[in-house]
Amino acid sequence: MAKYSEKAGEKVERAIHEMKEGKLKTGTGKKVTSKKQAIAIGLSEAKKAGAKVPKDQS
C-alpha cells in the first residue's frame, strides 16, 4: 500500500468536506460531485504544498 503523509490526509479530508458542503469547484469552476474527484483534488493540493504523495500509478 502506498504511504501518504499526514499533511496529504488533511488536504484530502478538507477537500471531501468541501465537496459534501457543495463548495468544492473544479479548475473550470464547475461543482465537484464525485468523491474520487475530491480525493484527486486534495492529493494535487498536497503535492503542490510539498507533502509526501506517491506517484500516479496509471
Domain of 39 in residue numbering reads as: 6-48
In a domain, 44, yes or no: yes
pLDDT at 2: 76
Using alpha carbons only, give the angle 40, 42, 44 rounded to the nearest 5 degrees.
70
58 versus 14: the higher-pLDDT residue is: 14
Domains in the chain: how many in total? Answer: 1
30-47 pLDDT per residue, tens = 999 999 999 999 999 999
Predicted pLDDT of residue 25:
95
Q: Are 49 and 11 in contact (CB under 8 A)?
A: yes
Mean pLDDT calculated for residue range 16-43: 95
Domain membership flag for residue 38 = yes
pLDDT score, position 57 = 65
